Structure 1
């Protein structure tokens, strides 16, 4: 029996430097035969701004590099366009602000094969540049993904960046990501939540970490607290979007959010006045609680799908 083919997908939107770092890290992967690999770069800009860089990568790579231009804005649109191009039985996702160490992919593949997992997730380690000193610990933690110390099967799921999916396990192998989350994000939560309900096997690859280098505009409380609020909206919005709606779950998350926002909001106010070093961590928890409570229509925050003409 021939070995499964692997497609690595990198979605991007006007981040040439980040895309170059992420893609070059795929070209440096070890422990996986080149004839099993392909790289798919999906450009979600109105104009094909990443095409020249993709062409440079294709000239360097020992495996096929495919460029997909998806002008219709939206994170789900971009991921689905890449999935339609990808030929792999296994699909790995890397974001355009991430960098993968040279044994990243081999480690994901080993864990997937050993545990027969449908989806494998790995850690993310946030990196802030040296000039960032204010709230540095919080910012690096915010852009990190933590998990168990050892590889194994897990019950929960994480985001799409740094993940490996078994295509045959997806409800739609070509367009599995829901367009309803194009602008808010969370399209991966909807997919993985549905897979969990269907009995999919999730695994954690503790050694398959990637670095995340946020763009400077994101290294501020103004961005991260808004993002924390949006993260808080996730479980409540998921319950409301379920078919039929999970009203008991929605009531649970909203009531939890009220308590969380009140307790940590007051605590954050006190820590802000006193200059406590963990002020940002506490404010983050308050924002997530508020998001659980205020999750609908006018309170939804859109982080994606803002392509320039």
Structure 2
């Protein structure tokens, strides 16, 4: 029996899920370590069951299906954790495809650094015809870090990560379900880990590709996400009960909004593609200022399900 399980949350993305799972079946150097691949289906209709059943005979590792009908990113991850007792947990999003040495590189980096959480690089991919924002969007959906494996000062997002369960994922439900609709459950998790003295690592060779779907590969979506990312520091300080820290982040946000907002307007007037990066920084600044409830964008859970219902209704044959 291996000591690591890979969790793949999904919601009504059969082709993308199949690509993610195929990349897991092709992992090298982990045959003695990989205990199971767990797919948690967050669609109330359970539409991923057919994809998992179809691909199960191709999997060199146990492929476990868990249906969690309550839509929400944190709830889905907690449900998957309940399906395994593995001491190491890796996360791969359903819109990602891992390189063959991905998991081995994460495991090696954890062994070298002793970190509680290890992250890897992501190459962002957007559909053809995205237009002038393409370079920015590829960076937005991607992730880069140090050229060498080692300890790092700050965490990244949960996708493409390896966590030590005992220290990074305490309790039966370590992800806060209050973040089910907006995301940010990993920010809260990592802030708590940092407060307990946890360490973060970087696996330079653990690369995945992330394929942004067309409805997300837009400036509107990216800036809404940037705004939500900007809310993170202020929200974390507020939850920790540090009002002066909240005020400090709000002051930083005011300054960023003014400085980068004016620069973005100037570049927009002359049609420079680099305005996208300044618009991103402006949105993050605004998020630090408007971090309160009522300003939180909704990207997951019921909101995403409603969008899918409008664009890709589920027929009885696929439910």
Matched, 1:42 2:40: yes
Distance in 1, matches of 2:19 and 2:7, equals 14
Distance in 2, matches of 1:205 and 1:265, equals 35
Matched, 1:53 2:51: yes
Structure-2 residue corresponding to 1:206: 204
Matched, 1:161 2:182: no
Structure-2 residue corresponding to 1:12: 10
TM-score w.r.t. the length of structure 1 is 0.95
Give the superposed CA RMSD. 1.4
Matched, 1:266 2:245: no
Deviation at residue 56 of structure 1 after TM alignment: 1.5
Distance in 1, matches of 2:6 and 2:233, equals 28
- Find the partner of 2:213 among 194, 212, 215: 215
Matched, 1:247 2:249: no
Moved over 6 A (4+): none
After the TM superposition, which of the residue ranges 53-62 and 129-138 deviates more from structure 2? 129-138
Kept in 1, the 8 Å contact 2:117–2:168? The answer is no
Structure 2 stretches lacking a partner, 5+ long:
310-319
Deviations 1:55-86 (A, max 9, x none): 12222111111101101111110000000002
Structure-2 residue corresponding to 1:257: 253
- Find the partner of 2:86 among 85, 88, 108: 88
Distance in 1, matches of 2:32 and 2:6, equals 12
Kept in 1, the 8 Å contact 2:40–2:80? The answer is yes
SS of residue matched to 2:156: coil
Structure 1 stretches lacking a partner, 5+ long:
none
Distance in 1, matches of 2:168 and 2:278, equals 37
Distance in 2, matches of 1:86 and 1:66, equals 10
Structure-1 residue corresponding to 2:273: 277
Structure-2 residue corresponding to 1:29: 27
Distance in 2, matches of 1:214 and 1:122, equals 18
TM-score w.r.t. the length of structure 2 is 0.92
Kept in 1, the 8 Å contact 2:127–2:213? The answer is no
SS of residue matched to 2:138: helix
Deviation at residue 35 of structure 1 after TM alignment: 6.5
Kept in 2, the 8 Å contact 1:34–1:63? The answer is no
1:144/1:171 CA distance change after superposition, 3 Å: closer
Distance in 2, matches of 1:256 and 1:304, equals 28
Deviations 1:88-133 (A, max 9, x none): 1110000011010000000100111122221111111101233323
Kept in 2, the 8 Å contact 1:230–1:291? The answer is yes
Distance in 2, matches of 1:201 and 1:237, equals 21
Deviation at residue 170 of structure 1 after TM alignment: 3.3
Distance in 2, matches of 1:56 and 1:193, equals 39
Kept in 2, the 8 Å contact 1:122–1:204? The answer is yes
Distance in 2, matches of 1:44 and 1:24, equals 20
Kept in 1, the 8 Å contact 2:36–2:61? The answer is yes
Deviations 1:7-26 (A, max 9, x none): 00000011111111111100
1:35/1:225 CA distance change after superposition, 3 Å: closer
Distance in 2, matches of 1:63 and 1:253, equals 46
- Find the partner of 1:116 among 102, 114, 117: 114
SS of residue matched to 2:145: coil
What are the residue-to-residue correspondences of 1:223-234 with 2, within 5 Å?
223-234=221-232
Deviations 1:286-306 (A, max 9, x none): 111011101112211111112
Distance in 2, matches of 1:36 and 1:106, equals 10
Kept in 1, the 8 Å contact 2:3–2:87? The answer is yes
Deviation at residue 4 of structure 1 after TM alignment: 5.1
- Find the partner of 1:104 among 78, 102, 105: 102
Matched, 1:134 2:132: yes
Deviation at residue 34 of structure 1 after TM alignment: 5.4
